[in-house]
């Protein structure tokens, strides 16, 4: 009784029939949830919950950014399983007697109504979309490129798809930054701890999605933005294997806009929907808050660099970054080499403006020519002149 009463109040000005002949939500009821006046943000929130988790993944492939130049490229994928928590939500209500109670309602990913005669499913509930209910997992493909130099790394990701069936627009642009600090402290650690590295990562995505359901003119536009700020700790026991853990904060937001109008076609739609107009203007926030990740990276050969892992941000997701390539051009000094360099720099004596005099060595005191025999003759003549008696030198002077 309470469920039926609440459902009737919830429908308000909605169409007479909330489900089609198979118990799925009509296109009108699914799309009108993007109008803020409907107050059904929880109905579509699983979209941004899943999309936010997918886009906030794969911003790093290692905790270390080398000093020498590195280049990377690949096709990262993050997969989110659609579970029961995506298919229903709880909402509080108050009946005519002022009593509060909680009621469980389907989301856009939810199940259809049981149409059997003995079913107790309320007739006026807005049930799940047949299209989205059929999804077992949620993912979002994109291309990613990155380059690093002197322990700083920049990342660019993008994707664009032409109009396909009901999907009229699909684009993504994102950029990320990373800086690692291991080179500042690794040489001070004992050898067993030197493979440890720490870095900070920032990532931002902007995505646009355009959707036009069958039998409707116009378009539903969804503008999605996400941010991720994390600290990544990595340990590389061997050169080709690294274990990483990340802790951070993420945000995700979805803004809807556009206009949809139901138009009749040859085989038409339910008359209750014909001529209906939908003006999407709803803004919904996703899983904003703490995120945690565990990843394992491999360096196979010079370039192949697959990464697999697990992330949690309100719900679980899995990173399957197996088509990724990363190559380093050059070789960085080891922590032991850095320690030797730092030690020699600290032990080197400083230059002084004055130095104490030291006795000259035999080689330094010799000031003669390069011909020792000539120098000996010259010195001998000088000594003979100096040995002349003073009386003889005086008489010679007087005779002159």
Q: List pLDDT tens digits, range 108-119.
A: 999 998 888 888
pLDDT of residue 327: 94
pLDDT of residue 17: 52
pLDDT of residue 261: 92
Q: List pLDDT tens digits, range 133-180.
A: 888 888 888 999 999 999 999 999 999 988 888 888 899 999 999 999
pLDDT of residue 284: 96
**pLDDT > 80? residue 103:** yes
Instruction: Report the range out of 244-253, 373-382, 389-398 with the highest average pLDDT.
Output: 244-253
pLDDT of residue 397: 44
pLDDT of residue 320: 86
Q: List pLDDT tens digits, range 22-59.
A: 889 888 889 999 999 988 999 999 999 999 999 999 99
What is the chain's mean pLDDT, rounded?
82
Q: List pLDDT tens digits, range 2-16.
A: 444 444 444 444 444
Question: Stretch 328-336: mean pLDDT, rounded?
Answer: 88
pLDDT of residue 344: 61
Which comes out higher in pLDDT, residue 390 or 276?
A: 276
**pLDDT > 80? residue 329:** yes
pLDDT of residue 399: 45
Least-confidence region, from 218-222, 241-245, 329-333? 329-333
Q: List pLDDT tens digits, range 365-393.
A: 444 444 545 554 545 454 444 444 444 44
pLDDT of residue 350: 52
The model's pTM is 0.78
pLDDT of residue 267: 52
Burial of 297 (0-12, 13-18, 19+ CB in 10 A): buried
Confidence of residue 264 (pLDDT cuts 50, 70, 90): low
Q: List pLDDT tens digits, range 61-89.
A: 999 999 999 999 999 999 999 988 899 99
């Amino acid at each position: 009784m309470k469920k039926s009463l609440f459902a009737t109040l919830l429908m308000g000005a909605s169409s007479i029939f909330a489900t089609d002949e198979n118990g799925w939500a009509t296109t009108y009821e699914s799309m009108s949830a993007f109008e803020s006046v409907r107050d059904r943000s929880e109905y579509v929130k699983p979209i941004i919950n899943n999309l936010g988790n997918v886009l906030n993944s794969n911003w790093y492939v290692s905790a270390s950014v080398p000093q020498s130049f590195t280049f990377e490229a690949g096709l990262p994928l993050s997969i989110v399983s659609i579970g029961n928590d995506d298919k229903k939500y709880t909402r509080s209500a108050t009946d005519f007697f002022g009593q509060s109670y909680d009621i469980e309602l389907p989301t856009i990913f939810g199940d259809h109504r049981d149409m059997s005669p003995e079913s107790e499913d309320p007739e006026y509930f807005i049930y799940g979309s047949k299209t989205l209910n059929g999804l077992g997992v949620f993912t979002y493909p994109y291309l990613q490129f990155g380059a690093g130099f002197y322990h700083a790394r920049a990342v660019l990701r993008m994707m664009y798809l032409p109009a396909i069936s009901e999907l009229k627009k699909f684009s993504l642009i994102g950029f990320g930054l990373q800086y690692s600090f291991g080179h500042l402290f690794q040489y001070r650690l004992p050898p067993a701890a030197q493979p440890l590295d720490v870095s900070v990562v920032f990532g931002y995505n902007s995505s646009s999605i355009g959707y036009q359901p069958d039998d409707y003119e116009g378009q539903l536009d969804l503008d999605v933005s996400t941010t991720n700020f994390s600290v990544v700790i990595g340990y590389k026991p061997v050169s080709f294997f690294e274990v990483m853990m990340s802790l951070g904060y993420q945000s995700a937001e979805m803004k809807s806009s556009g206009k949809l109008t139901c138009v009749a076609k040859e085989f038409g739609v339910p008359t209750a929907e014909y001529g209906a107009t939908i003006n999407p203007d709803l803004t919904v926030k996703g899983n904003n808050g703490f995120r945690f990740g565990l990843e394992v990276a491999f360096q196979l050969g010079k370039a192949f660099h697959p990464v697999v892992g697990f992330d949690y941000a309100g719900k679980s997701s899995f990173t399957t970054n197996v088509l990724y390539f990363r190559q380093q051009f050059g070789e960085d000094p080891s922590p032991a080499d850095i320690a030797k360099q730092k030690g020699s720099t600290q032990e080197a004596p400083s230059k002084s403006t004055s130095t104490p005099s030291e006795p000259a060595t035999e080689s330094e005191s010799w000031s003669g020519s390069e011909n020792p025999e000539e120098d000996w003759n010259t010195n001998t003549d000088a000594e003979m002149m100096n040995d002349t008696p003073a009386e003889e030198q005086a008489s010679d002077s007087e005779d002159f």
